[in-house]
Amino acid sequence: MAVERYPRVEIDLKKLKSNVKNIVDRCGAVGIDVAGVIKGCNGIPEAAVQFAAGGCKYIASSRLEQIEAARKAGIDKEFMLIRVPMLSEIVDAIKLTDISLNSEREVLEALNKEAGVQGKIHQVILMSDLGDLREGFWDKDELVACAKWVETDLKNLKLMGVATNLGCYGSIAATVDKMEELIALAERVEAAIGRKLAYIGGGATTSLPRVMEGVMPARINLLRIGEGILLSRDLPLFYNCPMDFMYQDAFTLKAEIIEIKDKPSHPVGTIAVDAFGRKQVYQDRGIRKRALLGIGKVDYGDPGDIFPRAKGIEVLGASSDHTIVDVENADREYKLGDVLEFDFNYASIVYATNCPNVRIVTI
Ligand SMILES: *Cc1c(COP(=O)(O)O)cnc(C)c1O
């Protein structure tokens, strides 16, 4: 029998699909389509397939490579590019996606031209920056004028709507006020172009609490959801929004013990800096049983972003390729070769699923 290699990310596809369906159903009940955002797990095709099977209207990613892989996996959905396109990726954006989020006239012009070359109609959503200060038109008059220009002059583009992004750079909450502001802007666009827009996109996972609370304004009819489906950790943790109906353990990080010994908890010698040049503080708790794992920062980022499933285990720290955990108070006796399981947060799942040394396994 082949030896199972570690570290690995294990994906429970049934739990993931259940998560997708739960969000799609709750949004659908109030007239909201879901663009399922697959970038949080590097767009792993087996996971992307669950986003489609669970009923997402669009399969969305910031990265064309992931969309290409999802297409190759045979997913029969429309694909949405959610990072405003680079001028250098216009050809592939038209080839691989059906709809994109946009904030620059020059890009829209290039998309229009390339869509013409490829004989396609490409759908666009114009982004409004409502204060989070990442992508989007800041000047609302400029967005309205741009919408009118797309509508009348760019024959190979179809203006589908307006949308916003919140809670990313500027940490701005998706309040009902922000939603109303977006709807008012959409209605200005509608007045300018003389028709209704198909979509008003009210943001991402951080907008879900408004849906749960039943206060999402009726005209918001599109959300782009990633973390809320993959892990559903951030909403209960940071937004006081219980998500008990979701699996938070659809993804598991597994790492192998490569050394297990009793050692002092405080380093011995002159303290300088760690492997990454940082000054660290160490607590002296005497001699403790510590396990060394064959996984490190290269694989998941920050050791504070992985969470042992078993009780009594504590992550002490890490270097590039090693993680040190205290197992002194663990429920069971660990030995060399044992495998420890961890939960992710958004940061660690993004890194782990993007790391070529971490195997991806589905169950
Ligand atoms: C990443 C991203 C999303 C998804 O965000 P989640 O918080 O994972 O739901 C939605 N929209 C845009 C523009 C994004 O970049």
Q: Whose CA is nearest to atom 4 of ligand 1?
A: 226
From 34, 37, 80, 99, the mutation candidate for ligand 1 (largest count of ligand atoms within 8 A of CB) is: 37
User: Does 40 sit in the ligand 1 pocket, CB within 6 Å?
Assistant: yes
User: Does 82 sit in the ligand 1 pocket, CB within 6 Å?
Assistant: yes
Radius of gyration of the chain (CA): 23
Task: Give the ligand 1 atom nearest the CA of 62.
Answer: 15
Pinpoint the alpha helices (H) of the chain: 13-28, 45-53, 64-72, 90-96, 105-117, 140-153, 176-193, 208-212, 227-230, 234-238, 297-300, 346-354
Task: Give the ligand 1 atom nearest the CA of 205.
Answer: 9
Transcribe 215-246 into DSSP letters.
-S-TT--EEEESHHHHT--HHHHHS----TTS
Q: Which residues contact 158 (CB under 8 A, 6 or more apart)?
A: 121, 122, 123, 124
User: Does 62 sit in the ligand 1 pocket, CB within 6 Å?
Assistant: yes
User: Does 163 sit in the ligand 1 pocket, CB within 6 Å?
Assistant: no
What local confidence, expressed as pLDDT, does residue 280 receive? 87
How many whole angstroms separate alpha carbon 127 and alpha carbon 142?
11
Question: Which H/E stretch holds residue 60?
Answer: strand 58-61
Q: Which residues contact 300 (CB under 8 A, 6 or more apart)?
A: 253, 306, 344, 348, 351, 352, 355
CA–centroid distance, 281 to ligand 1, in Å, is 35
Q: Which residues contact 115 (CB under 8 A, 6 or more apart)?
A: 94, 121, 122, 156, 157
From 80, 82, 128, the mutation candidate for ligand 1 (largest count of ligand atoms within 8 A of CB) is: 82
What local confidence, expressed as pLDDT, does residue 63 receive? 98
The residue count for the chain: 363
What local confidence, expressed as pLDDT, does residue 1 receive? 55
Task: Give the ligand 1 atom nearest the CA of 101.
Answer: 13
The closest alpha carbon to 78, from 92, 98, 95, belongs to: 98
To the nearest 10 degrees (0 to 180), the angle between helices 176-193 and 140-153 is: 40
User: Does 52 sit in the ligand 1 pocket, CB within 6 Å?
Assistant: no
Please give the average pLDDT of every successive group of 10 residues along the chain, which has 363 residues: 87 98 98 98 97 98 98 97 98 98 98 98 98 96 98 98 94 96 98 98 97 97 98 94 96 98 93 88 93 98 97 96 97 96 98 97 95
Q: Is 49 helix (H, G, I), strand (E, B) or coil?
A: helix
CA–centroid distance, 159 to ligand 1, in Å, is 21
CA–centroid distance, 216 to ligand 1, in Å, is 18
CA–centroid distance, 225 to ligand 1, in Å, is 6
What local confidence, expressed as pLDDT, does residue 2 receive? 66
- DSSP 8-class letter at 172: -
User: Does 228 sit in the ligand 1 pocket, CB within 6 Å?
Assistant: yes
How many whole angstroms separate alpha carbon 8 and alpha carbon 31?
38
Residue with tokens 């001699």: 287
Transcribe 245-289 into DSSP letters.
TS-S-SEEEEEEEEEEEEEESS--S-----TTS---------EEE
What local confidence, expressed as pLDDT, does residue 3 receive? 78
Catalytic residues: 39
CA–centroid distance, 111 to ligand 1, in Å, is 22
